[in-house]
Structure 1
């Protein structure tokens, strides 16, 4: 038969769906539909509250009373009645009856899912981070160069507030996390060391090798002699024949000179190629 509580069922399903999607809700919300029947008994009007009404009870009863809420609070009410009025004591008793039902439903929901699942990296999101106010200029860069570069590379949208709060919005979580990592690398820079491994981007080609970006504002040189090792030791007449700007390449910091310049070697070379 017809079910008069489909709207309250959708409240419960929405809570569970949001938790399953990884949305950090403050509290689970459940809903219950209450009904009421009344009749004259020995010259006195008697009332009976119904819990979780069916379609017929909704159609032929005297009240449709929907209550949604958490364990602590009522968050929504809807009341339709065919009577001229309902005694306050009857309505109060219906509210208490609805609370008992709501708590029972919340317990069942909690058994199925009690906390947010991990949000998929494919889900869109907005995240926020805080950077020191004196680092805002570094994140933006000259004429917006740095922030535009981060947005172009990651696909994220970035907004910076005067207090150092940065909002990062992206259609995929991976893009938001990539932008966050780049911003943190600028605002909270780490000290690079010999042996550190990076999946860097080629940013410039020269006759003597390729410059590879390791972190925002930090490039290293992959000498052409090292690039030859990546290609079996063959002579390379034109570097652009084997590499182009924008290519991703795994490198390791081999040396840091007194001026802080980074000398790189390819990562994961076979032993015979390292000689």
Structure 2
């Protein structure tokens, strides 16, 4: 009928935007929140809004329960769904569930399955015992009828229900019929939702923040934060990324959020450098700390020294390391490996140099011809 309209928006944020619960028994953060707004004009009233009503709390909680289990646990974002009811002559909470499903899929949130909802009604004749189960009830059918039974779910099952009845009770027969009739209605609505958007978009919207998580050793958390938060504040100010650091059981996790890939890469590099995280195969500009007969020790990061073996200095045979390197000299080296047992770093300089010996051999062969 189109007489119930919900304008639903989805906002994605970082873990700093999560809802913090500080209840008597529960102290936790919630990644997913849903706000349901039912302004007076949606039913033609011209009265002021004076805070959140019980209706908004109850209906919002129902829609929240309907969608919450479909949000993937591994989602790095904090998700806020806001449903503004613009017109109401039917179940606006069920409209919120359907609109929330569409909005989440359009935003690129990989929900497990689409969810739809429908409100079932009941009209009974106590004298004859006859009854009729109504689907998608209007406001008058809710007011004059004997039941308001809201059912939400996917094609595989129910995610949330809520029932208000004005009769003394319901028989098993009536309840079974209401659930089966609701199932038909939910599936019909799911088909209609699929006509608009069948599955979540593969990528987030361009203006949504991109989030990357970097694991760092626990003892490196302080180095990334810096004295008084100096280091992390510099990273945020100079790159434009939002950096959130949290401690877990085995490691520290740095969450980097930004709207562009370049900013994320720049911030990730700064975090890795501050934490002293090394990547095998990466080229580092190091400083020669000491020279031995068998090679040289190069500091490629603060407190991170690696051995540049004499055989890895140049392609030709090296007999004296000091002919190629001096203490205090800066040199480009490649991290080629890390010993599993000791954690010692293996460096190479010759892999970055062109092997002139092969060219000389080819030149000699041409001259002979």
Give TM class, smaller chain: 0.5 to 0.7
Match of 2:137 in 1: 53
Q: How many residues align?
A: 198
Task: Provide closer, same or farther for how the CA distance between residues 78 and 177 of structure 1 changes in structure 2, counting only shifts above 3 A.
Answer: farther
C-alpha deviation, 1:135, in angstroms: 8.3
Report the counterpart of residue 150 of structure 1 in structure 2: 235
Is 1:20 the counterpart of 2:106? The answer is yes
Whether 2:169 is the aligned partner of 1:85: answer yes
Partner residue of 2:287?
none
CA distance in 1, matches of 2:155, 2:269: 39
User: Using a 3 Å threshold, how does the CA distance of structure 1 residues 78 and 136 change in structure 2: closer, same or farther?
Assistant: same
Contact 2:283 2:332 in 1 (8 A): no
Aligned to 2:282: 191
Q: Is 1:260 matched up with 2:332?
A: yes
Structure 1 segment 126-205 matched on structure 2, within 5 A: 127-131=212-216, 133=217, 136=220, 140=224, 143=227, 146-155=231-240, 156-162=242-248, 163-168=250-255, 170=257, 172=259, 178-180=266-268, 182-183=270-271, 187-189=277-279, 191-192=282-283
Matches within 5 A, 1:167-246: 167-168=254-255, 170=257, 172=259, 178-180=266-268, 182-183=270-271, 187-189=277-279, 191-192=282-283
For the structure 1 residues 119 and 164, does the alpha-carbon distance in structure 2 shift closer, same or farther, using more than 3 Å as the test? same
Supply the distance in 2 between the matched residues of 1:77 and 1:6 (Cα, whole angstroms). 14
Matched, 1:119 2:119: no
The answer on 1:103 being equivalent to 2:187 is yes
CA offset digits 1:64-114 (Å, max 9, x no partner) = 111112222322212111212111220122012112211221232123223
Structure 2 unaligned spans of 5+: 4-87, 285-299, 303-328, 334-369
CA contact (8 A) 1:35 1:58 kept: yes
Structure 2 CA distance, aligned partners of 1:101 and 1:121? 35
Q: What TM-score, normalized to structure 1?
A: 0.59
Residue 10 of structure 1 corresponds to 96
Q: Cα RMSD over matched residues?
A: 3.5
- Tell me if the contact between 2:256 and 2:268 (Cα under 8 Å) persists in the aligned partners: no
